[in-house]
Amino acid sequence: MNTQGEIILRAEALAKGFTIGTARVEVLCGADILVRAGKSVSIRGESGCGKTTLLNILSRMENPDSGLLQWQGREVAQIRPARLARERGRFMGMVFQSYYLVPELDVIGNVLLAAKVAGMKADKARARELLERVGLKERLFASPLTLSGGERQRVAVARALMNRPALMLADEPTGNLDEKSGAVVMDMLLAICAEQGASLVLVTHNRAFAARADESLVLHDGRLIPA
Amino acid sequence: MPWYLQLALRQLFPKGRRWPSFFFLLSVLGVSLGVMILVITQSVMGGFDKEHNAKMIMTSGHADVNAGGSVMHNSGALIAAISARPETLAAVPYAQGIVMLTHGNHPAFPFIRGLDLSQPRQVVPVGELLIAGDIADMDDDAVLLSSRLSQAIGAWVGSTVEVYTPLMIEKLKADEVMLPRRLRVCGIYETGWTPFDSNTMVCSLPLMQDLYELGDGIHGISILLRDERDESVWKYARSLGAELGRSQRVQTWMDMNRDFLWVLALEKNMMMFLMLFIILVASFAIAAAQLLTVLRKTREIGLLEAMGARPLHLGLLYCFQGFFIGLAGTLLGMAGAVLALHYRDPVIATLAAITQSQAALEQFYQFSHLPVYYDPADFILISIATLTISTLAGLIPAIRAAYMKPAEALRSE
């Protein structure tokens, strides 16, 4: 459990650009973000403004061109590349718009996979507890292919929380869901993150969902500004 | 079980589906067909080898003591000593050479071997090999002809043949008048071993000693052993050779037929080498199917990387699938091969009946049924080769998966 007020994620002056053909597009130009333990931060922005790129950089799935990134006070650039993936798997959980469940595994298998891949103990009791918490107690051994979109996203939330991450990154978690299912998932995400003491960085288009975070930011012209 | 092995098995055998994936079945089928052909080829070649080996032993014994072509005199004590060894089943002295044989207008130059037919246990079971005549009629004025020799000169049981030896020809040079030795054909033998059946004849040892003027001399002693395993034969030859010293040479049947055995081994190895290309072709099917899986699973691979999967484990995920396809193909192929070989005779009989080639099969191959020998070494070698090739086939997709960038993989369409 992290101490209240401890800085979980710090990013300063992040810059990232892409070369498309002969043109150079600067997506991030000095983006700063600070996330404290147990707090949630929402990020909104126009389509294509670089929100997913920002999350990829915060999770270090993509390298920034420049800038500082710290996970719990530890500079990410100092982590050896061979250890980076495992460190990421233990430090943060991720929820994506498209769920990305493994169709060959059952529901509980998908949740346990997060622990196994990160080299942690595959605690079945915790997986059951999380799935019970997201309302899927009866579907533990169901194939993800038989679940509705909302149910799939709830499995993805349980999976992201399996390793007791200090930070959750959610990229448009309700983007593929109808309004009702989206609201259920969002309620659950916020509530469980609060229960588990996990900080949350939420990328969403939905103003109402964004407003429920402790801090709301907008990505505009490559910078994060208060909403 | 590590997660990558568990996931590899799940991808090959998805939960809730009765059948494994189509690509898996296709790849396994390709490998199993290759393995099946390899096992069948190697086992049939092994069977032919065993048949050949049995014929070689039947016509020359397990071991041979000789003086390198020189005549050995006073060999009674030596024969008794060899016979007294517990490993020895039979030790029969012989004398041999080449003669000119005529029957009517038909000459031939066969290899003749004089055997001590008084020995209770023979090395070459001539009596059992007769297709005409009776061994009981054999005396010092009679000979046995090989089947093809009898055909070549038109002699049969009861015919009289005339024999000229090289010594007679030497005497002719000295203007001596030499009459050929007239001998009665009392039997025709056939071993199924072409070199022995084509141009040989057998007589008694005293007759051969008389023809070659050897006195009590012999050219060697054929030995039959109780334990006919190769290593026992080698051990026996080494021990007897050490006991006899340099005056006599001890050869095993493998020494005597070294060139022929080398050709057989080369033939078998070449078949194995050529047939391995079938497995190689099948490995392309594995590589293509696995590559397709990797492309299909790109976003899943991105997710695994996002969750902390190491490149090595992602690589192993697909390498293991290649290995498992190889394993399933190997087991299936071997089972199929054993099954096919079990029913080989009805299959061949049907094919021969359709093509009307039964007579040709027996004439040219001399085997009434297809011989098969399952050599564990062949099975081990085929398994290792197949598993290695299959695993390597999974390596290309594995490397692709291992080096995917997670963000790009997740973004892929």
Task: Find tokens 């002969």 and name the residue.
Answer: A22
Q: Is A100 in Cβ contact with B300 (below 8 Å)? A: yes
Residue B293 token pair = 């899986």
Q: Which of A88, A114, A143 sits opposite B16 (nearest CB)?
A: A143
Residues in B closer than 8 angstroms to A117, CB to CB, are 3, 304, 307-309, 313
Q: Is A61 in Cβ contact with B308 (below 8 Å)? A: no
Q: Is B308 in Cβ contact with A105 (below 8 Å)? A: no
Residues in B closer than 8 angstroms to A118, CB to CB, are 307-308
Question: Pairing state of beta strands B130-133 and B181-189?
Answer: antiparallel
Q: Is the Cβ of A208 closer than 8 Å to some Cβ of chain B?
A: no
Q: Is A105 in Cβ contact with B3 (below 8 Å)? A: no
| Angle in degrees, 0-180, between the axes of helices B344-355 and B311-342, rounded to the nearest 10 | 60
Residues in A closer than 8 angstroms to B2, CB to CB, are 116
* Same domain, residue pair B101 and B189: yes
Q: Which domain holds residue B387?
A: 3-54+261-411
Mutate to test the interface with A, among B19, B301, B303, B310 (most CBs of A within 10 A): B303
What is the number of domains present in chain B?
2
Single residue among B162, B190, B219 that ends a domain in this structure:
B219
Among B236, B191, B192, B296, smallest CA distance to B86 is for B236
3-state class of B113 per DSSP?
strand
Give the list of residues 6+ apart from residue A74 with CB closer than 8 angstroms, or none: none
Least Cα separation, residue B293 to chain A (angstroms)? 13
Task: Say if B355 falls within a structural domain.
Answer: yes
- Give the separation between CA A54 and CA A11, rounded to whole angstroms: 10
- Give the separation between CA B75 and CA A182, rounded to whole angstroms: 105
Mutate to test the interface with A, among B6, B307, B324, B405 (most CBs of A within 10 A): B307
Q: Which of A62, A103, A114 sits opposite B307 (nearest CB)?
A: A114
Tell me the DSSP string of B305-369. Answer: HHTT--HHHHHHHHHHHHHHHHHHHHHHHHHHHHHHHHTHHHHHHHHHHHHT-HHHHHHHH--SS
Residues in B closer than 8 angstroms to A116, CB to CB, are 2-3, 6
Residue A194, CA distances (Å) to A2, A17, A111, A187, B53 in order? 12, 34, 19, 11, 81
Task: Say if B118 falls within a structural domain.
Answer: yes
- Which pLDDT does position B368 carry in this prediction? 59
Q: Is B7 in Cβ contact with A85 (below 8 Å)? A: no
Residue A154 burial (10 A CB sphere; 0-12, 13-18, 19+) = buried
- Check if the beta carbon of residue B44 is closer than 8 Å to that of residue B270: no
Task: Say if B300 falls within a structural domain.
Answer: yes
Q: Is B306 in Cβ contact with A59 (below 8 Å)? A: yes
* Same domain, residue pair B98 and B186: yes
Q: Is the Cβ of B296 closer than 8 Å to some Cβ of chain A?
A: no
One-letter amino acid at A65 equals D
One-letter amino acid at A55 equals L
Write down the H helix ranges in B117-198: 126-129, 147-153, 166-173, 194-198
Task: Say if B139 falls within a structural domain.
Answer: yes
* Same domain, residue pair B193 and B287: no
What are phi and psi for residue B88, nearest 5 degrees? -80, 130
3-state class of B389 per DSSP?
helix
Q: What is the pLDDT of residues B377-409, one digit of tens each?
A: 999 999 999 899 888 888 888 888 888 888 778
Single residue among B185, B219, B253 that ends a domain in this structure:
B219
- Give the separation between CA A135 and CA B129, rounded to whole angstroms: 86
Single residue among B188, B219, B250 that ends a domain in this structure:
B219
Q: How far is CA B24 from the centre of its chain?
A: 36
Question: Pairing state of beta strands B100-103 and B130-133?
Answer: unpaired
Q: Which of A109, A117, A143 sits opposite B308 (nearest CB)?
A: A117
Least Cα separation, residue A100 to chain B (angstroms)? 6
- Check if the beta carbon of residue B6 is closer than 8 Å to that of residue B357: no
Q: Which of B15, B309, B310 sits opposite A143 (nearest CB)?
A: B15
Among B317, B327, B274, smallest CA distance to B31 is for B327
* Same domain, residue pair B288 and B400: yes
Q: Is B309 in Cβ contact with A113 (below 8 Å)? A: no
Using the Cα atoms of residue A95, residue A96, residue A99 and residue A100 in order, give the sign of their dihedral: negative
Least Cα separation, residue B286 to chain A (angstroms)? 20
Q: Is the Cβ of A118 closer than 8 Å to some Cβ of chain B?
A: yes
Least Cα separation, residue A173 to chain B (angstroms)? 15
Task: Say if B131 falls within a structural domain.
Answer: yes
* Same domain, residue pair B265 and B407: yes
* Same domain, residue pair B37 and B133: no
| Kind plus residue range of the DSSP H or E element containing B390 | helix B376-393
Query: What's the CA angle centered on B326, arms B370 and B312, to 5 degrees?
Result: 160
Task: Say if B227 falls within a structural domain.
Answer: no
**Judged by CB atoms within 8 Å, which residues 80-99 of A form the interface with B?**
82, 85-90, 94, 96, 98
Q: What is the pLDDT of residues A167-189, one digit of tens each?
A: 999 988 888 778 888 888 888 88
With b for 16 or more beta-carbon neighbours within 10 A and e for fewer, the B128-151 pattern comes to ebbebbebeebeeebbbbbbbbbe
- Across B116-214, where does the E strand assignment appear? 130-133, 142-146, 160-164, 181-189, 200-204
Plot region of A110 (φ>0 → left; ψ -120 to 50 → alpha; else → beta) = alpha
Q: Is the Cβ of A107 closer than 8 Å to some Cβ of chain B?
A: no
Does residue A23 surpass a pLDDT of 80?
Answer: yes
- Give the separation between CA A216 and CA A202, rounded to whole angstroms: 9
Least Cα separation, residue A163 to chain B (angstroms)? 10
One-letter amino acid at A140 equals L
DSSP state of B161: E
- Which pLDDT does position B366 carry in this prediction? 57
Q: What is the pLDDT of residues A43-65, one digit of tens each?
A: 998 888 888 899 999 999 888 99
Q: Is the Cβ of B299 closer than 8 Å to some Cβ of chain A?
A: yes
Q: Which of B7, B308, B407 sits opposite A118 (nearest CB)?
A: B308
Residue-level pLDDT, tens digit, chain B, 413 residues: 889 898 888 888 876 677 777 888 888 898 899 899 999 999 999 998 888 898 889 888 999 999 888 899 988 899 999 999 999 999 999 999 999 999 988 999 999 999 988 877 888 888 889 999 998 899 999 999 999 999 999 999 999 999 999 888 788 777 777 788 999 999 999 988 888 888 899 999 999 999 999 999 999 999 999 998 999 999 999 999 998 888 889 999 999 999 989 998 898 889 888 888 888 888 888 888 888 888 888 888 888 888 888 888 888 888 888 899 899 999 999 999 999 999 888 888 888 788 877 676 666 665 556 789 999 999 999 999 989 988 888 888 888 888 888 877 887 76
Q: Is the Cβ of A138 closer than 8 Å to some Cβ of chain B?
A: no
Task: Say if B239 falls within a structural domain.
Answer: no
- Give the separation between CA A200 and CA A41, rounded to whole angstroms: 6
What are phi and psi for residue B252, nearest 5 degrees? -90, 170
Q: Is the Cβ of A142 closer than 8 Å to some Cβ of chain B?
A: no
Residues in A closer than 8 angstroms to B11, CB to CB, are 104
Q: Is A103 in Cβ contact with B14 (below 8 Å)? A: yes
* Same domain, residue pair B289 and B207: no
3-state class of B144 per DSSP?
strand
Residues in A closer than 8 angstroms to B308, CB to CB, are 85-90, 117-119
Does residue A2 surpass a pLDDT of 60?
Answer: no
* Same domain, residue pair B101 and B206: yes
Q: Which of B11, B302, B305 sits opposite A104 (nearest CB)?
A: B11
- Give the separation between CA A67 and CA A132, rounded to whole angstroms: 40
Q: Is A86 in Cβ contact with B310 (below 8 Å)? A: yes
Query: What's the CA angle centered on B395, arms B389 and B398, to 5 degrees?
Result: 150
- Which pLDDT does position B363 carry in this prediction? 64
3-state class of B284 per DSSP?
helix
* Same domain, residue pair B306 and B213: no
Task: Say if B188 falls within a structural domain.
Answer: yes
* Same domain, residue pair B11 and B101: no
- Provide the CB-side half-sphere exposure for B45 (13 A, CA): 19
- Which pLDDT does position B365 carry in this prediction? 61
Q: Is A89 in Cβ contact with B300 (below 8 Å)? A: no
Q: Is the Cβ of B303 closer than 8 Å to some Cβ of chain A?
A: yes
Least Cα separation, residue A116 to chain B (angstroms)? 6
* Same domain, residue pair B276 and B206: no
Three-state DSSP string of chain A: CCCCCCEEEEEEEEEEEEEECCEEEEEEEEEEEEEECCCEEEEECCCCCCHHHHHHHHCCCCCCCEEEEEECCEEHHHCCHHHHHHHHHHHEEEECCCCCCCCCCCHHHHHHHHHHHCCCCCCHHHHHHHHHHCCCHHHCCCCHHHCCHHHHHHHHHHHHHCCCCCEEEEECCCCCCCHHHHHHHHHHHHHHHHHHCCEEEEECCCHHHHHCCCEEEEEECCEEEEC
Could you give the domains of chain A? Answer: 39-62+80-226 (3.40.50.300)
* Same domain, residue pair B207 and B312: no
Q: Which of B10, B310, B407 sits opposite A85 (nearest CB)?
A: B310
Cα Rg of chain A (Å, integer): 17
